[in-house]
Amino acid sequence: MTFTLDTHWVWDFWLADDGDLFHMYYLHAPTSLGDEHLRHRNARVGHAVSRDLATWTDLGVVLGHGVAGDFDETATWTGSVVQGPDGVWRMFYTGSRFLSPDSHANVETVGVATSTDLHSWSKSPGPILTADSRWYETLGDSSWPEEAWRDPWVFADPEGTGWHMILTARANHGDELDRGVIAHATSGDLDTWRVQPPLSKPGSGFTHLEVPQVATIGSRAILLFSCDSSALAGRRAGLAGGIWALEVDSEAGPYPAERATLLAPESLYSGRVIRDRTGGWVMLAFENSTEDGRFVGALSDPIPVEWSSPHGPLVFSVVASSAIRGELV
């Protein structure tokens, strides 16, 4: 593992590249909590930098939860970073608000913080985006204990017309255990956002599709997301989960998630792909669990990723010191 903290668990993360340094923003919570499940209520965003995606220098906390009444009053969760045409960096992140200490019920919304140097961040008033009940499940619509609206991934439109945000969400219809979808929002300026219908359909076998990312490797676009075994539903129920991938016609969607294929086991989670300094693509993930089910909470080594042939499968060449091949179908 390339990044670990002695006194904290580390899990979801996202990356930015300023051309000199890679910047990693990561969720962490103290191991003194005793129960790793409590980490979600105590998550803060840390910052580390690297020149090679393998050796990291930790720079400490850059974003914490808000005060009572804020959309992020409980915790700050997963997001993404982009640089706008104005040169300003924007971190879109999840704000979590649990309704009570003894309840799993929570409301997730999207906020934004800005920076000119990727080191000092200033939160903007929020939330800037919430689940739209025209298409998406909100708290109380079902027995599901959260209003899922998290993990915003923001990217420029492939055709050059504005910006897209994709998110982890749930549809407002269908089997309660099989409502996971990729939500969608658009913006012309990174400031004003409009919720759109989802880019995938419920019934694809996922209770939720977490930490989504799109990327174009060579000439082929893929969607990455994570879903562990316990959150698989429908025809996938009882199968093994982990990091999933799907080849798509365009980064902007649609995403036929029913065709997604498992690429890495759930010992790894929250996979992110990025170009290294050689120009090659690698995936990083957090080390999720051991064979006996113990939570790890540390960042993996970079995993080389490439297409095995112009029209062949995506190959993750090294995962936890053994080869794993994922077929995109």
- Reported as a single tens digit per residue, the pLDDT across 150-181 is 999 999 999 999 999 999 999 999 999 999 99
For residue 318, pLDDT beyond 60: no
**Which of 190, 172, 193, 194 lies closest to 181 in space, CA to CA?**
172
Domain assignment present for 276: yes
Handedness of CA 97, 9, 268, 238 (dihedral sign): negative
**Which of 70, 12, 20 lies closest to 46 in space, CA to CA?**
12
Q: Which residue has the tokens 């992140």?
A: 93
Q: What is the mean pLDDT of the chain?
A: 93
The helix/strand/coil state of 224 is: strand
Confidence of residue 1 (pLDDT cuts 50, 70, 90): low
Percent of the chain with pLDDT over 70: 94
Q: pTM for the whole thing?
A: 0.94
Total count of domains within the chain: 1
The helix/strand/coil state of 229 is: helix
Domain assignment present for 72: yes
Phi and psi for 202 in degrees, rounded to 5? -65, 160
Domain assignment present for 69: yes
For residue 323, pLDDT beyond 70: no
Amino acid present at 234:
G
Domain assignment present for 2: no
Exposure letters 7-32 (e unless 16+ CB within 10 A, then b): ebbbbbbbbbbeeeebbbbbbbbebe
Q: Which residue has the tokens 């914490």?
A: 64
Domain assignment present for 1: no
Query: Which CATH number characterizes residue 134's domain?
Result: 2.115.10.20
Which long-range CB contacts under 8 A does 250-254 form with residues at least 24 apart?
A: 250/158, 250/221, 251/155, 251/158, 251/164, 251/214, 251/215, 251/216, 251/221, 252/157, 252/158, 252/159, 252/164, 253/166, 253/182, 253/184, 253/199, 253/200, 254/199, 254/200
Domain assignment present for 190: yes
Which residues, including other chains, have CB under 8 Å from residue 216's CB and lie 6 or more apart? 158, 222, 251
Residue 310 is predicted with a pLDDT of 66
For residue 321, pLDDT beyond 70: no
Amino acid present at 84:
G
Domain assignment present for 137: yes
Per-residue pLDDT tens over the stretch 69-98: 999 999 999 999 999 999 999 999 999 999
For residue 106, pLDDT beyond 60: yes
Residue numbers of the domain that contains 146: 8-325
CA distance 15 to 24: 5
**Which of 282, 295, 272, 246 lies closest to 39 in space, CA to CA?**
295
